[in-house]
């Protein structure tokens, strides 16, 4: 697929490529000349939405399963009973 360079030096990135890479309006690019071609890297803008829970659908087991919860509780209890002094850190 080929495209013509516009009067301002702009090049259109094919829609199929933009869709495959998930490129959207507002993304920044880093362009680098490598020998006889240009490499373009796309950087998405900073987002303001929370990522909390975005991986929940991919987790099959609770991270705090009962055995891990017991182990964590024991470890904290041991530290509370016998706090470390700074020389042990």
Per-residue pLDDT band for 55 (boundaries 50, 70, 90) equals confident
Residue 21 phi/psi, 5-degree rounding, is -90, -10
Is 42 within 8 Å of 31 (Cβ atoms)?
no
pTM for the whole structure: 0.47
Using DSSP, state whether 25 is helix, strand or coil. coil
pLDDT tens profile 19-48: 999 999 999 999 999 999 999 999 998 878
Q: pLDDT at residue 50 above 80? A: yes
Q: Considering the chain, what percentage of its residues have pLDDT values greater than 70?
A: 91
For the CA atoms of 19, 24, 27, 29, the dihedral, rounded to the nearest 10 degrees, stands at 30
Distance CA 46, CA 43 (A): 9
Radius of gyration of the chain from Cα atoms?
26
């Amino acid at each position: 697929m080929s495209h013509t360079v516009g009067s301002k030096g702009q090049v259109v990135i094919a829609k199929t490529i933009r869709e495959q890479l998930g490129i959207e309006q507002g993304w920044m690019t880093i362009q680098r000349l490598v020998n006889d071609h240009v490499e373009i890297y796309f950087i998405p803008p900073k987002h303001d939405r929370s990522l909390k829970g975005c991986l929940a659908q991919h987790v099959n087991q609770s991270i705090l399963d009962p055995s891990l919860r017991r182990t964590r509780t024991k470890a904290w209890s041991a530290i509370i009973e016998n706090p470390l002094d700074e020389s042990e850190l």
